[in-house]
């Protein structure tokens, strides 16, 4: 799958001391750093359950939520995480702003950096945009990729790992299946890199031929086109969101047809291990990629993912700010 | 008027100990709780006049302003109230967000609750939406109705009561007239319930037959179609905003014609008691439902309503958060 | 140039003790007050470099960013400045709000003031709008003009002066050239008044006849239509942004033609003093009014302007709030 973003600039995620300088992708991230993030997140889960949910780690720091592509849900989780760390948060929907005045991406960044930003959380429709920003900013400024094109969504990947670790304790004996539109999914890419890094012995992807990229086998990932086969004996199912534009295009016959073959039902889930957990990055298309009985059922940990997502984003921001 | 929302689910506003758990409507709210809110608001009016206008009652709490229908003015008053209580406030205009991705109302709520919301302030075009949310959320989460369809706008009703109490001291000997488009007004509904609950002996509504709902007489409300008759001897006039879409429809001949019959002028106001106060929920249509001489005149308390509105919303939020 | 806004109401910027009550324009502002603002800003530049970038001067104060015209960049700098002073900031894009409901400007202001605003930062497409607001509000409320029509943009003028003072130390022996669309530029107006007030002996404007207003010579400003002549021997060049709508209209032949004559290039800049600094209010049109080699070159202080802009806005707000 690396060929998908072979043109990506080399990622300067780590500083010279090997510490996290930016979070751009999980690909190539040392296992020790992934584990550091998960461990730090664990300490913040406690904070979220306290009556006063704030810690002063980023007090006086300025976090810019730079969303070139609209995503209220992801922006909100970063906003909450930053506020719990006592940062000042500036939300910028850049599509409606300077971009309309013809200012270039890097001019926008230069200007915001000159306002003494400490951190940029960047969502962009183009793969690689957060890399360009990370390569451009001064050393004391940190960049978090909040989703770039089809490329990566590392905090989603990390919160998925946190969720799996929370429920399964150990990665070393798991079978994990990722089901759906793997081809267009930055979540799938980040999850595959994270699972591999953490030593999960068996990672599967399940989906129709039109939605599975080539070359996955070379990464040690097993490809299934039959969902029942793909779910047999797995401990974790990660469902992917089916973008509605796929259904309008030539890649898929219809939502009904998709649900029949790749929608997660109780009946198909019966192929998995009895204590299998079900995950989804949200927002769900009920009746398309997942039926409500499963989404709201006892094996669903979909809302736990959201809760853990706050703690994981707090962890990433606090680790970055400490360097 | 209860028939207007006979299909509303039973409202779970009070917890088992009879304390306020959510604020959804003034209908059925015990008089003691209404009075508790007004008394608490009175203590916050002082805070607003201090140099540092903050109290730490909601420090570390997360308040989500969930506006499915745009209302900058109402959202701003809740935002100010929450910030004065030291809460973290997240503003969400949901029409532009997940709703567009086909996520259901309750999935949106589940996700935000999983981000550990402590309170939802909800404005929705559909009557009853805040009830659905209140019935759905966990016990430690509180819902405030910031206006749902034609149904209720309880904080407006409460700030109107605060304003009346401030200027008139005693509810037990008042004549109050509500004038205008009662049929479509959630403010009118909330005011009628509040006035009745607080023991106001004479509540009148004044308006054209097309804009007055049936059945009001059964609630002890007197209906007038002649404004001069309706204002005779009243102590309080509550003018309602005339939505411009009413004037375009078949319900009204024209804005000029409406003003002639139901616009509040100094001349018509002369029918009321000399110390009558004039109220309006805003924003006003000057020259349609009210003339500027009255709106800006000595008997107008319209801007006092706005100021008291902050204190009343602080009171509601702090009472909810205490449970 | 005073004729351009001869119809402006007399500006009530100073209170009876001669202190700054509002900041509406630099025209007529006493030199002592301009210097006070620059000196105060200097103390805040240090704050911005600290690890915790906050001071409690506006704690509990409410600052309303009232933008009737969209400008994410300017709004963001005011938001940052206010948050660093520990104020509560309410952002309002008024075009999408009450204005759409037919509420008048002053009714909107009255309502927000009733929510106990302490300061309004106002951007408006109509020259003079901040004056109307300043004349209308109560004595304890302060107004900052964040740009009104073609009239004034005083905080931009002040941050430009701060930048010049930072790099040139002394105003009393400078030659400053302002280049471009002076006719439509509120920045140019504010800069000319500021430079004159601070005693700069030689202020030049450079541009095509269609973009230079008449009457400038009476203000002691020298007009050049040949850019090389205009830049000869200057210490400071202030480039103006060319609004793209000018190029579509009859005032200019084309962007290429404009760049040829009035675009700042290294070659034209060679006419200036060797230590000349280059300024631009942003956002830049690279290749239209300025070439990238200059914008990113060693004499460019464009990003310093942005950084100093935060400190200058903190200075203005803290001086206003102290009165």
CB-based contact B40:B319 (threshold 8 Å): yes
Residue in chain C lying closest to A117 (CA) = C80
- C136 and C223 in a single domain? The answer is no
Q: Check if A72 contacts B (Cβ < 8 Å).
A: yes
> pLDDT value at position B244?
72
When pLDDT is averaged across residues A66-92 and rounded to a whole number, the result is 94
User: In the structure, what pLDDT confidence band is assigned to residue C218 with cuts at 50, 70 and 90?
Assistant: confident
DSSP A246: H
pLDDT surpassing 90 at residue C254? no
In percent, the amount of chain B with pLDDT more than 90 equals 80
> pLDDT value at position C101?
57
Angle of CA points A296, B15, B81, to nearest 5°: 90
In percent, the amount of chain C with pLDDT more than 90 equals 80
List the single range of A183-187, A279-283, B263-267, C98-102 with lowest mean pLDDT: C98-102
**What are the pLDDT digits (tens) for B167-200?**
999 999 999 999 999 999 999 999 999 999 999 9
Number of structural domains found in chain A = 2
pLDDT surpassing 60 at residue B98? no
User: Nearest CA to CA, how far is B133 from chain A (Å)?
Assistant: 16
- B38 and B174 in a single domain? The answer is no
Instruction: Find chain B residues with C-beta within 8 A of C116's C-beta.
Output: 48, 53, 80, 307, 310
- B8 and B146 in a single domain? The answer is yes
CB-based contact A53:B60 (threshold 8 Å): yes
- B188 and B170 in a single domain? The answer is yes
- A313 and A298 in a single domain? The answer is no
- C93 and C169 in a single domain? The answer is no
Bridge partners (DSSP) of residue C124 are: C148
Query: Do A111 and C283 make contact, defined as CB atoms within 8 angstroms?
Result: yes
Rounded CA separation B286/C95 (Å): 19
List the single range of A308-312, B303-307, C215-219 with lowest mean pLDDT: C215-219
**What are the pLDDT digits (tens) for A240-272?**
999 877 666 667 778 889 999 999 999 999 999
- Supply the mean pLDDT for chain A: 91
Query: Do A116 and C73 make contact, defined as CB atoms within 8 angstroms?
Result: no
| Complete DSSP assignment for B170-207 | -STT-EEEEES--TT-HHHHHHHHHHHHTT-SEEEEE-
- B78 and B220 in a single domain? The answer is no
- C125 and C163 in a single domain? The answer is no
- Supply the mean pLDDT for chain C: 91
Q: Check if C7 contacts B (Cβ < 8 Å).
A: no
CB-based contact B98:B108 (threshold 8 Å): yes
Rounded CA separation A310/B112 (Å): 11
CA dihedral (B230, B232, B235, B240) positive or negative: positive
Residue from B280, B283, B303 to probe the interface with C (highest C Cβ count within 10 Å): B283
Question: For residue C240, what are its two tokens?
Answer: 């103006």
Q: Check if C307 contacts A (Cβ < 8 Å).
A: yes
Instruction: Find chain A residues with C-beta within 8 A of B102's C-beta.
Output: 244, 283, 285
The residues, ordered by sequence, that sit 6+ positions from B20 with a Cβ below 8 Å of its Cβ are B13, B14, B33, B36, B37, B316, B319, B320, B323
Which residue among C90, C94, C102 places its CB closest to the CB of B80? C90
DSSP B60: T
- C188 and C219 in a single domain? The answer is yes
- A89 and A100 in a single domain? The answer is yes
Query: Do B88 and A80 make contact, defined as CB atoms within 8 angstroms?
Result: yes
Q: Check if A88 contacts C (Cβ < 8 Å).
A: yes
Question: For residue A222, what are its two tokens?
Answer: 């097993």
**What are the pLDDT digits (tens) for C173-190?**
999 999 999 999 999 999
Rounded CA separation B49/A94 (Å): 38
CB-based contact C40:C319 (threshold 8 Å): yes
> Which residues 258-287 of C have a C-beta within 8 angstroms of A?
282-286
> pLDDT value at position C7?
42
pLDDT surpassing 70 at residue C247? no
Rounded CA separation A186/A184 (Å): 7
Which residue among C50, C283, C310 places its CB closest to the CB of A115? C310
> pLDDT value at position A134?
95
Query: Do B102 and A307 make contact, defined as CB atoms within 8 angstroms?
Result: no
**What are the pLDDT digits (tens) for B249-295?**
667 778 889 999 999 999 999 999 999 999 999 999 999 999 999 99
Strand ranges (E), chain C: 62-67, 88-93, 119-124, 142-148, 175-179, 202-206, 221-224, 236-239, 277-279
Enumerate neighbours of A (3 or more CB pairs within 8 A). B, C
> pLDDT value at position B4?
37
- C148 and C159 in a single domain? The answer is no
- Supply the mean pLDDT for chain B: 91
pLDDT surpassing 50 at residue B5? no
List the single range of A72-76, A217-221, B264-268, C264-268 with lowest mean pLDDT: A217-221
A135 three-class SS: helix
Q: Please, which contacts does C32-39 make with residues 24 or more away whose CB atoms are closer than 8 Å? A: C34/C158, C34/C161, C34/C194, C34/C197, C34/C198, C35/C198, C36/C319, C37/C158, C37/C312, C37/C315, C37/C316, C37/C319, C38/C158, C38/C161, C38/C162, C38/C165, C38/C312, C38/C315
User: Nearest CA to CA, how far is C257 from chain A (Å)?
Assistant: 19
> pLDDT value at position A70?
84
List the single range of A300-309, B17-26, B155-164, C50-59 with lowest mean pLDDT: C50-59
Question: For residue A153, what are its two tokens?
Answer: 């969504």
Which residue among C62, C98, C116 places its CB closest to the CB of B73? C98
Rounded CA separation A81/C249 (Å): 48
Q: Check if B15 contacts A (Cβ < 8 Å).
A: no
Residue in chain A lying closest to C85 (CA) = A60
> pLDDT value at position B195?
98
Rounded CA separation C129/C109 (Å): 11
**What are the pLDDT digits (tens) for A222-235?**
999 999 999 999 99
Consecutive H or E run containing C109: helix C105-114
- C146 and C173 in a single domain? The answer is no
Enumerate neighbours of B (3 or more CB pairs within 8 A). A, C
Host domain of residue B36 = 2-153+307-322
pLDDT surpassing 50 at residue B103? yes
Residue from C50, C83, C282 to probe the interface with A (highest A Cβ count within 10 Å): C282
Q: Check if B73 contacts C (Cβ < 8 Å).
A: yes
> pLDDT value at position A219?
83
> pLDDT value at position C6?
36
Query: Do A115 and C307 make contact, defined as CB atoms within 8 angstroms?
Result: yes
Q: Check if A102 contacts C (Cβ < 8 Å).
A: yes
Q: What is the CATH number of the domain that holds C311?
A: 3.40.50.1370
In percent, the amount of chain A with pLDDT more than 90 equals 80
Rounded CA separation A23/A40 (Å): 15
When pLDDT is averaged across residues C299-313 and rounded to a whole number, the result is 97
Instruction: Find chain B residues with C-beta within 8 A of A314's C-beta.
Output: none
Q: What is the largest CA-CA distance in chain C?
A: 56
Query: Do C115 and B306 make contact, defined as CB atoms within 8 angstroms?
Result: yes
Q: How far is CA B279 from CA B145, B206, C55, in A?
A: 21, 14, 41
> pLDDT value at position C99?
55
CB-based contact A178:A238 (threshold 8 Å): yes
Instruction: For the beta carbon of residue B192, count every other beta carbon within 10 angstroms.
Output: 26
**What are the pLDDT digits (tens) for C115-162?**
999 999 999 999 999 999 999 999 999 999 999 999 999 999 999 999
Buried b (16+ CB within 10 A) or exposed e, B124-162: beebbbbbbbbeebeeebbbbbbbbbbbbbbbbbbbbbb
More confident residue, B119 or A71: B119
Residue from B56, B60, B113 to probe the interface with A (highest A Cβ count within 10 Å): B60
Q: Check if C111 contacts B (Cβ < 8 Å).
A: yes
A and C: number of Cβ contacts within 8 A: 65
Q: Check if C218 contacts B (Cβ < 8 Å).
A: no
**What are the pLDDT digits (tens) for A163-195?**
999 999 999 999 999 999 999 999 999 999 999
> pLDDT value at position C135?
93
Question: Does residue A271 have a cis peptide bond before it, meaning omega lies within 30 degrees of 0?
Answer: no
Which residue among C53, C79, C286 places its CB closest to the CB of A116? C53
Residue spans of alpha helices (H) in chain B: 31-49, 72-84, 105-114, 129-136, 154-168, 186-197, 227-231, 244-248, 255-262, 266-269, 292-295, 302-322
> Which residues 48-67 of C have a C-beta within 8 angstroms of B?
59-62
């Amino acid at each position: 799958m690396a060929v998908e973003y072979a043109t990506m600039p080399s990622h300067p995620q780590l500083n010279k001391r090997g510490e996290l300088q930016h979070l751009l992708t999980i690909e190539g991230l040392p296992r020790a750093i992934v584990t550091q993030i998960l461990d730090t997140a664990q300490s913040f889960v406690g904070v979220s359950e306290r009556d006063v949910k704030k810690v002063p780690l980023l007090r006086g720091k300025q976090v810019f939520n730079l969303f070139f592509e609209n995503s209220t849900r992801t922006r909100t989780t970063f906003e909450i995480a930053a506020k719990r760390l006592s940062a000042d948060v500036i939300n910028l929907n850049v599509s409606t702003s300077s971009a309309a005045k013809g200012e270039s991406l890097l001019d926008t960044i230069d200007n915001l950096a000159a306002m003494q930003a400490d951190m940029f959380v960047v969502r962009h429709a183009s793969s690689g945009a957060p890399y360009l920003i990370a390569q451009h900013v001064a050393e004391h400024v940190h960049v978090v990729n909040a989703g770039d094109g089809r490329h990566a969504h590392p905090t989603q990947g990390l919160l998925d790992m946190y969720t799996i670790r929370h429920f399964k304790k150990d990665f070393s004996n798991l079978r994990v299946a990722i089901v759906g539109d793997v081809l267009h999914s930055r979540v799938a890419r980040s999850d595959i890199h994270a699972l591999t890094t953490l030593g999960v012995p068996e990672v599967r992807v399940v989906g129709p031929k039109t939605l599975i990229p080539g070359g996955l086998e070379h990464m040690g990932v097993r490809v299934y086109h039959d969902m029942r086969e793909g779910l047999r004996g797995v401990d974790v199912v990660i469902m992917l969101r089916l973008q509605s534009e796929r259904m309008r295009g030539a890649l898929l016959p219809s939502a009904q047809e998709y649900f029949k073959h790749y929608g997660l039902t109780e009946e198909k889930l019966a192929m998995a291990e009895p204590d299998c957990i079900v995950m989804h990055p949200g927002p769900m298309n009920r009746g398309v990629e997942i039926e409500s009985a499963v989404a709201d059922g006892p094996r669903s940990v979909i809302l736990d993912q959201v809760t853990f997502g706050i703690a994981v984003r707090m962890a990433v921001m606090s680790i970055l700010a400490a360097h």
